Amino acid sequence: MPKVVNHKDRRENVAEATWRVIAKQGIETTTIREIAKEADCSTGMLQYYFKNKDELILYALQLAVLRMGGRMWKRGEESAGTQILRNVVIESLPLDEERRLEWQILAVFYGRAATSTKMAEECDLWYTDYRSLLRGLITNGKRDGHYRMEIDAATEADAIISLVVGIGVLTIIKPRHFTSEFQLELMDRHLSTLLTR
């Protein structure tokens, strides 16, 4: 009986290995051979799934964003009132080991977006989707009386994303200072400014 291979799982395993290698040594020095070793597979198997290193790296970014987005949607659906916005936002903070690794990868990709049109387009897509989600949650919160009516939902969505990205990057630089508790304190302080008095 031939072995059944789940191609989706295999691609995700390779992407996760890519995250670990990039987090250890940076994107420029990462090679297909090192990723294959980390993924416990051959370089030929990697080339079966991905044409080249750039395609693999792009998929790794897309998977990180997809997983983060999935967690945000799940938490939003499980919440009510002002907790909806809060829970969606905190899912994008680097509060645990998995999310810190995602942020290490996202920070690398943000840097690469400065010189890669494709990476810039992917980062812009993430930003646009995230902004739209937050803007909708803020608009709904205003309608339901949770947030002040004078708040501009689009501007506030930009402010929240700026805070999230700042916290994400600073957690990489100063992990002992930007503890999970401190990240939540900063976000809660900001979100409290939206509330009706």
pLDDT per position as a tens digit, 174-192: 999 999 999 999 999 999 9
Residue 31 to residue 33: CA distance in whole angstroms: 5
Q: What is the pLDDT of residues 116-164, one digit of tens each?
A: 898 899 899 999 999 999 999 999 999 999 999 999 999 999 999 999 9
Average pLDDT on 62-76 reads 90
**Token output for 73:** 């949607």
Instruction: Map residue 8 onto helix, strand or coil.
Output: helix
Average pLDDT on 104-115 reads 88
- Cα torsion 160, 163, 169, 174 to 10°: value is -140
Q: Which residues of 43-60 are buried (b: 16+ CB within 10 A; e: fewer)?
A: eeebeeebeeeeebbbbb
Integer CA distances (angstroms), 95 to 9, 15, 56, 171, in order: 25, 21, 26, 9
Q: Identify the structural domains of the chain with CATH numbers, from first to last.
A: 7-192 (1.10.357.10)
pTM score: 0.87
Q: What is the pLDDT of residues 12-53, one digit of tens each?
A: 999 999 999 988 888 888 999 999 999 999 999 888 899 998
The owner of tokens 């680097």 is 94
State residue 117's pLDDT score: 92
